[in-house]
Structure 1
Amino acid sequence: MTTSFPHLPWVRTFEACARHRSFARAADELGLTPAAVGQHIRHLEAQLGFALFKRMARGIALTPIGRDYAPIVTGLLDDFAAGTVALFGIHSGRTITLRCVASFASLRLPRILHRFAQAYPGVSVQVQTPVWSDDADATHVDLEVRYGSGLWPDYDAIALSEGISYPLCPPGNAMVGDTSTALYALARQAPIHILGMENLWRKLAVQLGWPEQEMQAGITVDTSAIALELVAAGAGSAIIDAQLCHLHLERGLVVHPGGIALRHEQRHYICIPRTSHITRPEVLVLRDWIRAQTDQR
Structure 2
Amino acid sequence: MYKELNHFTALRYVEAAARHQSYSLAAQELYVTQAAVSQQIRLLESHLGRKLFYRQGRAMQPTSQGKQLAQALSDSFESIAASVKQISCEPLEGVLTVTTTQSFASMILIPNMWRFAQAYPHIAVRVLVSPAVEDIRHTEVDVAIRYGHSQFPGLEQEVILEEQLVPLCSPTFAQQAKLNDIANMAHCQLVYYTYNDYWQNWFNKAGISRCSDNSQWLEVSNMDFALGAVITGHGVCLGSPMQAKHYLEQGLLVQPFDISCEPSVRYSFLFNPDSPRRERISEFRNWLVDLLNKP
Shorter-chain TM-score bucket reads 0.5 to 0.7
Match of 1:235 in 2: 234
Q: Is the 8 A contact 2:161 2:265 kept in 1?
A: no
Relative distance call for 1:155 and 1:180 in structure 2 (3 A) is farther
Match of 1:245 in 2: 244
What are the equivalent positions in structure 2 for 1:1-297 lying under 5 Å apart?
39-40=74-75, 91-92=92-93, 94-130=94-130, 132-135=131-134, 139-172=139-172, 173-174=174-175, 176=178, 179-186=181-188, 190-198=189-197, 200-211=198-209, 214=212, 216=214, 218-273=217-272, 277-297=275-295
Measure the CA separation in 1 of the matches of 2:107 and 2:72: 44
Measure the CA separation in 2 of the matches of 1:38 and 1:181: 73
Q: Is the 8 A contact 1:149 1:265 kept in 2?
A: no
One-letter amino acid of the counterpart of residue 214, structure 2: Q
Larger radius of gyration: 2
- Specify the SS of the correspondent of 2:118: helix
Q: Is the 8 A contact 2:180 2:256 kept in 1?
A: no
Measure the CA separation in 2 of the matches of 1:37 and 1:143: 36
Match of 2:59 in 1: none
- Specify the SS of the correspondent of 1:225: helix
Q: Is the 8 A contact 2:167 2:257 kept in 1?
A: no
Give how far 1:227 is off: 0.9
Moved over 6 A (4+): 35-38, 41-44
C-alpha deviations, 1:184-217, integer Å up to 9, x for none? 321xxx221123332x101111211222765736
Give how far 1:224 is off: 1.2
Measure the CA separation in 2 of the matches of 1:37 and 1:294: 47
One-letter amino acid of the counterpart of residue 147, structure 1: Y
Q: Is the 8 A contact 1:150 1:159 kept in 2?
A: no
Q: Is the 8 A contact 2:105 2:129 kept in 1?
A: yes
Please report the TM-score for the alignment, with normalisation by the length of structure 2. Answer: 0.63
Relative distance call for 1:96 and 1:38 in structure 2 (3 A) is farther
Relative distance call for 1:110 and 1:39 in structure 2 (3 A) is same
Measure the CA separation in 1 of the matches of 2:105 and 2:260: 23
The share of aligned pairs that are identical, in percent, is: 22
Relative distance call for 1:38 and 1:109 in structure 2 (3 A) is farther
Measure the CA separation in 2 of the matches of 1:37 and 1:142: 34
Q: Is the 8 A contact 1:183 1:257 kept in 2?
A: no
Relative distance call for 1:108 and 1:37 in structure 2 (3 A) is farther
Q: Which runs of 5+ in 2 are unaligned?
A: 1-25, 31-69, 80-85
Give how far 1:149 is off: 1.0
Match of 2:60 in 1: none
One-letter amino acid of the counterpart of residue 255, structure 1: V
Aligned positions, number? 218
Relative distance call for 1:232 and 1:142 in structure 2 (3 A) is same
Give how far 1:108 is off: 0.9
- Specify the SS of the correspondent of 1:257: coil
One-letter amino acid of the counterpart of residue 184, structure 1: A
One-letter amino acid of the counterpart of residue 224, structure 2: A
Please report the TM-score for the alignment, with normalisation by the length of structure 1. Answer: 0.63
One-letter amino acid of the counterpart of residue 243, structure 1: M
Give how far 1:40 is off: 2.3
- Specify the SS of the correspondent of 2:127: strand
One-letter amino acid of the counterpart of residue 99, structure 1: T
Measure the CA separation in 2 of the matches of 1:196 and 1:226: 14
